[in-house]
Chains A and B, each alone.
Chain A
Amino acid sequence: MTLKTILMAGALSLAGAAASASCAFENTVPLKSLTAGFEAWKAATDAMAECGNFSASLDQEFKEKQPEAFAANPALYQIGGVANETLIPLLNAGTIRPLDDLVAKYGENLTPNQLIKIDGEIMAIAMMVNAQHLMYRQDILADLGIEEPKTYADVLAAAEKIKAAGVVDYPLGGTFKTGWNLAQEFVNMYLGEGGNFVDADNNPTINTPEGIKALETLKAMTAYMDPEYLVSDSTYVQQQFQQGKIAMANLWASRAAAMEDAAESQVVGKVKMASAPMGAAAPATSLWWDGVVLAANMSDEQAEAAFKVVMEGMDTEMVQANNDAAVWLVPGYEAGPLAAGAAASAANGARPYPASTALGILHSALGNGLSAYLTGAKDAETTLADIEANYITAAKEAGLLE
């Protein structure tokens, strides 16, 4: 193989990409995007790339890079992928632009549900929703005569039966990795109990009976989990499911498709999606959205080109090609059995993740403080009091609290 052949092959593949591009227009403005790195973003940014002159960074550390990259002038990325929580730092810093004019001009295919409005202005375009919900092995539960668990009491009772039957290594899986994941589990549980995180003056309000209940449920679950739960993240739990090591978990809807991936999964067709188990007030989960923002620090024509590219990336065609990669909000999406869990959770009244500056600080404090309770170093009340104290120190340092 000579250099010439390689160059030819390269040129051909480039030409091929250009020819197969299903983008409605040819983009001439160089554009870059920084988003999270899961399957749905891969699908969306691949579709955007078809317009040409576009390069995507799919990065697990995107939330640490985005605030600085968007604060630069001109911004280092024109297009950003955000969720409820990661929108807040950008919104606070004023580094993203309102999209009303662009939506009026090019957004004819968007549904009102996709428009994230802050104080009347459209600040982001959502493409999908995500939530943690119950996934369970219907073959195992049916064999043991267990009904679909509706509450955490049911989940624990089912786990006890599965443990007694000894059909899997661990009855439960959980995204309990210290840090963001574990804090998110608490947030879900606490929302399910009907708790509120901060009061109107940003003082923490988690050291409550609801908070203690949430902690106790989490701890009760750990008895049925892999003892190394403090290092297990979503991918680890997904793999445990795929390898048939666990029977139930409250896992992200965006991981559902992986259960049906015959190349990786040994449990194809055996995992059923159901509503997140109920807490005292609501399903123990929170609704998230993922979507796109545009940087403020760029010219109007760049913004126009960026918006048009984004619309191409989030169109019906892309969704039809990647129907099961996410629970899309884009027209043309057909909710299949994999979306049933997220849909049922929403129908049961799941609350959205109440993103705010205060909860951002509290989420980090929770991530650092919760493991002390699960390992038995502290009792529930001390744990919550210490997390509140940590939150207060951090919030004071940030200027949020006097």
Chain B
Amino acid sequence: MTVSYENSKTIFEGIKAAGIRSVSALPETWLGLLLGRIEEDPDMTLVQVAKEEEAIGIAAGAYFAGTPHVLLMQNHGFFGAVNGLVSLAMLYHIPLCMLIAYRGHWGEPYPWHTRGGIVTEGVLRALGIPFEHARDPMKVAKQIREAWTFSQSSLSPVALLLTRDLMED
């Protein structure tokens, strides 16, 4: 299994088409090709963090500044960012558009990802964060655009789960 070159490109184009010009991220295998494109694009600002919770603060700063921003992280990084999500984003009604690599689910060969994958949707539900699965490269650009729009109208964090179907060839 390798990370999908074509679908990484499609996601990148979807992010740009949604008007996003700023991205915070912690590099992750599935996100590597996508982050490479973002880094090379002169129209995009990429902030690479040491831990995902920082990205919640950075995204809040970008929101206050009026710059459309998405967060890229793995689901395990999302777990590490929960207090920032709750006591910054939700508490202050700050919208966040998160694209989350959904590791550790159907087809996962690596044991170390499995616990995180199993609890991801439950944690999202417990936090009241609306989410959808991105599986189809034909639909992902629209899903990114809609996730972005919904985050802004609801002033809430929203999550698009990037699945194995989409991220691997």
Question: Are A and B bound to each other?
Answer: no
